[in-house]
Amino acid sequence: MQNKLMKRTTVLCSAFVAAAMGIMLHYCANKIVVVADVAQDEVVQAAESTDNSQAEGRNSIEIDRDRENTNYFCVPLPPDVRAEEVTIENHYMDRELWVSIEPEKLSGQDVFYETNSVYGNCEKVVKGHFEVEEKRICLRFAMTDVYEYHSIFEDNTLYIEFVPPKEVYEKIIVIDPAYGGEDTGAATDTAEAKDITLNIAKALKAKLDETDIKVYYTRMDDSNPEAGYRVKLAEAAKADMLIRIEVGSDKSSKQYGTETVYNSRFFIPGFGSVELADLLEREVVTAISGKANGLVEASSEDTVINEATVPAAAVRVGYLTNGQEAILLQREDYIQRIAEGIYQTVIKVYEE
Confidence grade of residue 295 (pLDDT, cut at 50, 70, 90): very high
25 part of a folded domain: no
Instruction: Give pLDDT tens digits for 144-196.
Output: 999 999 999 998 999 999 999 999 999 999 999 999 999 999 999 999 999 99
Domain CATH code at residue 331: 3.40.630.40
278 part of a folded domain: yes
Q: What is the pTM of this model?
A: 0.86
- Is the pLDDT score of 53 beyond 80? no
If asked whether residues 133 and 176 sit together in one domain, one would say no
Q: Which of 177, 246, 239, 207 is nearest to 347 (CA)?
A: 207
If asked whether residues 145 and 186 sit together in one domain, one would say no
Between 344 and 7, the higher pLDDT residue: 344
Sheet with 292-297, side-by-side order of all strands = 214-217, 172-177, 241-248, 312-319, 258-262, 292-297
Last residue of some domain: 113, 144, 163?
A: 163
Vertex 277 angle, CA 275 and 279, to 5°? 70
Q: Pick the range with the lowest mean pLDDT from 32-36, 43-47, 72-76.
A: 32-36
Q: Which of 189, 186, 187, 198 is nearest to 223 (CA)?
A: 198
Domain CATH code at residue 100: 2.60.40
Residue 190: per-residue pLDDT: 93
If asked whether residues 157 and 276 sit together in one domain, one would say no
Query: What's the domain count of the chain?
Result: 2
21 part of a folded domain: no
Alpha helices in 1-158 (DSSP H): 2-30, 40-49, 112-115
Burial class (CB in 10 A: 0-12, 13-18, 19+), 46: exposed
Residue 110: per-residue pLDDT: 74
If asked whether residues 123 and 137 sit together in one domain, one would say yes
Q: What is the DSSP letter of 174?
A: E
If asked whether residues 95 and 70 sit together in one domain, one would say yes
Q: Contact 173/241 with Cβ under 8 angstroms?
A: yes
Confidence grade of residue 346 (pLDDT, cut at 50, 70, 90): very high
Residue 252: per-residue pLDDT: 87
* Interval 224-245 mean pLDDT: 96
If asked whether residues 286 and 332 sit together in one domain, one would say yes
Question: Range of 42's domain?
Answer: 31-47+54-163
- Is the pLDDT score of 256 beyond 60? yes
- How crowded is the C-beta side of 102, counted as CA atoms within 13 Å? 9
Sheet with 73-76, side-by-side order of all strands = 31-33, 148-154, 157-163, 73-76, 118-120, 63-64
Last residue of some domain: 115, 137, 163?
A: 163
Three-state secondary-structure class, residue 293: strand
Q: What is the DSSP letter of 64?
A: E
CA distance 240 to 214: 10
If asked whether residues 90 and 209 sit together in one domain, one would say no
If asked whether residues 108 and 241 sit together in one domain, one would say no
Instruction: Using the CB atoms, write b or e for 309-340: b if 16+ within 10 Å.
Output: ebbbbbbbbbbbbbeebbebbbeeebbbbbbb
* Interval 245-265 mean pLDDT: 93
17 part of a folded domain: no
CA distance 331 to 168: 37
If asked whether residues 171 and 269 sit together in one domain, one would say yes
Confidence grade of residue 269 (pLDDT, cut at 50, 70, 90): confident
If asked whether residues 275 and 327 sit together in one domain, one would say yes
9 part of a folded domain: no
CA distance 52 to 42: 19
If asked whether residues 253 and 315 sit together in one domain, one would say yes
Q: Contact 233/93 with Cβ under 8 angstroms?
A: yes
Between 33 and 290, the higher pLDDT residue: 290
Q: Contact 256/222 with Cβ under 8 angstroms?
A: no
Confidence grade of residue 8 (pLDDT, cut at 50, 70, 90): low
Q: Contact 349/270 with Cβ under 8 angstroms?
A: no
Q: Contact 163/148 with Cβ under 8 angstroms?
A: yes
Is the four-CA dihedral 279, 284, 286, 290 of positive or negative sign?
A: negative
Confidence grade of residue 44 (pLDDT, cut at 50, 70, 90): low
Instruction: Give pLDDT tens digits for 14-27.
Output: 544 444 444 444 44
19 part of a folded domain: no
If asked whether residues 206 and 340 sit together in one domain, one would say yes
Confidence grade of residue 91 (pLDDT, cut at 50, 70, 90): very high
Between 4 and 172, the higher pLDDT residue: 172
Average of per-residue pLDDT values in the chain: 87
302 part of a folded domain: yes
20 part of a folded domain: no
Last residue of some domain: 163, 191, 216?
A: 163
